[in-house]
Structure 1
């Protein structure tokens, strides 16, 4: 296998933390070698004290580019990645979960995107983990990526110097979950940007290593509490209602307020008569303004405080009856209602149809 960079003068190492799941891990490594082999330098595998079957499989991998390190004790995803990155001197690091699988060489796209935006610290290939999104609906930034403020750790291409400057993943999250989101939050607060490339695809078998049992639920609940204690404003979940208009119609003050919600880790749910407006980032969702969508969003996460609607923002053009009903709902459940003004800019054709059943 050639270790030369076919399209970039920036070296790339792949880091794969491994904990058991030998079959999934082997498929992941095989796919990396098959599709990325001519573009990367090394594959650094950090075995997080797996059982004998996995250790034996790793020790018998037939690839010269693979370096395997067996940890003496289980440390969890974050520390495993940190240790492997510390053994690299590559310019870029591609961090992969061991339950991912690659089907094409997406590195040229990711490298070109990172080169096009000097403030872009990390880029994520899209794939089945983003299947619920209509990626065609989102604004493309310079380099062809979609902005996100939520770093998904199953596949991250990041500059090694930035990763290490940030201290890598925080070990407080233990075996995993939310250490990737925490890193993304720290990067965003330092002025770095994060993105998802819709042209790059990767398959991720969610829960392939840890599963989705009680241990998973307990761990994710614990780590979510740690994350939200650090970033309480990440609980923001805004319900935005408007008439038929686009982002171009929003005055600067409204766009700034929306961007600030994203920057602090929150979300915006935009209900609008038009079905598919252009959206700013992956933390912005849209649905047609109808009664069923309104009820769905209002009840979203009812059993989880961090997913509840925290504020309702209403733009001009909302029917008086709906405004009155939302005001009552807001008072009953202590949800703040904000009226957004368009004094800075007049909206053309911003009318709203009556709520459908």
Structure 2
């Protein structure tokens, strides 16, 4: 039986703080015949490779892949995907945690997808696009509670996105193979996800956000804001511009606004529900929090978003917190 989903966890260093925590959150699904779990240690310079192998030995269904060198994000994911069998690949950065029912919710969403959708991004607490929800000051425990609520109260709606953030991403394997996976030219990381998003759209496939699947993102556990990281970001942004001169570098606020616009259209079509209202409440505050700093731009932004601030969809709202 071919699994529906191949979960590929990419780890690098600090196994106990990142990869172990991520893998432990996936334990409820490792015996599911529809799920395949693979973990890649990407040539860690510490003892993470050994710890990865030891953890897999205690969880035999999980396939352990140890790279002899750091292949970068693109190379590491390509390495794992080449040994996966699922109809869909779920690329997972190790600085993530999956709340209860997250993978169950993803399986349901995939089963309902239109045939032209080839990539799905879950929502989260930290992202640079419309996948990010908004609740300043929320603890990780509170975000996991929000995730559980979202999984138990699905909206059955998909939201637009210009590009997907690859902290966790579901991709149809046939499309992954068609596009040749991630481009290893991006080296250790940054912008390979943007590149893949643009190539996928150019090939005629759709990518969407599912707000019925939440994955906690702990933030960048591999990269730090160092001079070398900044140099890599600058280099890879330049590479992306060369490959895609038409690429638009949109602020997170515009990704959030695109989702709020989709909400408004659903409301006007009479498709509003309490589940959608709860999701709107996890976004509406970002209109203020993400507003531009300059006086003129901030004034223009408030005028542009006034109808979303004042919009009060019908239906009894339920809190996801």
Fold similarity call, TM over 0.5: yes
Partner of 1:12: 5
Q: Output one character per residue of 1:237-287: Cα deviation in whole Å (capped at 9) or x when no partner.
A: 69xxxxxxxxxxxxxxxxxxxxxxxxxxxx6898xxxx998379x9xx967
Partner of 2:93: 97
Residues 15 and 43, structure 1, Cα contact 8 Å, conserved in 2? yes
CA gap of 1:213–1:279, structure 2 versus 1, over 3 A, is farther
Residues 35 and 103, structure 1, Cα contact 8 Å, conserved in 2? no
Partner of 2:124: 127
CA gap of 1:29–1:204, structure 2 versus 1, over 3 A, is same
Residues 161 and 207, structure 2, Cα contact 8 Å, conserved in 1? yes
Q: CA deviation at 1:10?
A: 5.1
Match of 1:77 among 58, 68, 73: 73
Residues 147 and 193, structure 1, Cα contact 8 Å, conserved in 2? no
CA gap of 1:292–1:211, structure 2 versus 1, over 3 A, is closer
Give runs of aligned pairs for residues 105-184 of structure 1, distance below 5 A: 105-115=101-111, 116-129=113-126, 130-132=132-134, 143-184=156-197
Alpha-carbon distance in 2 for matches of 1:225, 1:195: 26
Instruction: Give the strand-richer structure, 1 or 2.
Output: 1
Alpha-carbon distance in 1 for matches of 2:30, 2:297: 42
Partner of 1:21: 14
What is the TM-score of this pair, normalised by structure 2?
0.68
Q: CA deviation at 1:173?
A: 0.3
Alpha-carbon distance in 2 for matches of 1:203, 1:51: 26
Alpha-carbon distance in 2 for matches of 1:230, 1:12: 30
Q: CA deviation at 1:292?
A: 7.8
SS of residue in 1 equivalent to 2:207: strand
1:55 counterpart = 2:49: yes
Q: CA deviation at 1:297?
A: 5.5
Alpha-carbon distance in 1 for matches of 2:218, 2:255: 28
Residues 113 and 143, structure 1, Cα contact 8 Å, conserved in 2? yes
1:220 counterpart = 2:233: yes
CA gap of 1:296–1:269, structure 2 versus 1, over 3 A, is farther
Give runs of aligned pairs for residues 261-276 of structure 1, distance below 5 A: none
Give runs of aligned pairs for residues 316-327 of structure 1, distance below 5 A: none
Match of 1:278 among 260, 264, 271: 264
CA gap of 1:58–1:296, structure 2 versus 1, over 3 A, is same
Residues 114 and 122, structure 1, Cα contact 8 Å, conserved in 2? no
Q: Which structure: larger Rg?
A: 1
SS of residue in 2 equivalent to 1:233: coil
Question: Which stretch of structure 1 is more off in the superposition, 210-219 or 162-171?
Answer: 210-219
Match of 1:187 among 188, 200, 204: 200
CA gap of 1:111–1:51, structure 2 versus 1, over 3 A, is same
Alpha-carbon distance in 2 for matches of 1:50, 1:172: 20
Alpha-carbon distance in 2 for matches of 1:220, 1:18: 20
Give unmatched runs, 5+ long, in structure 1: 134-141, 239-266, 301-313, 315-357
Q: CA deviation at 1:235?
A: 3.4
CA gap of 1:53–1:119, structure 2 versus 1, over 3 A, is same
Residues 121 and 192, structure 1, Cα contact 8 Å, conserved in 2? yes
Q: CA deviation at 1:217?
A: 1.4
Q: CA deviation at 1:68?
A: 1.5
Alpha-carbon distance in 2 for matches of 1:78, 1:236: 20
Instruction: Give the helix-richer structure, 1 or 2.
Output: 2
Match of 2:37 among 26, 39, 43: 43
Partner of 1:346: none
Give runs of aligned pairs for residues 331-346 of structure 1, distance below 5 A: none
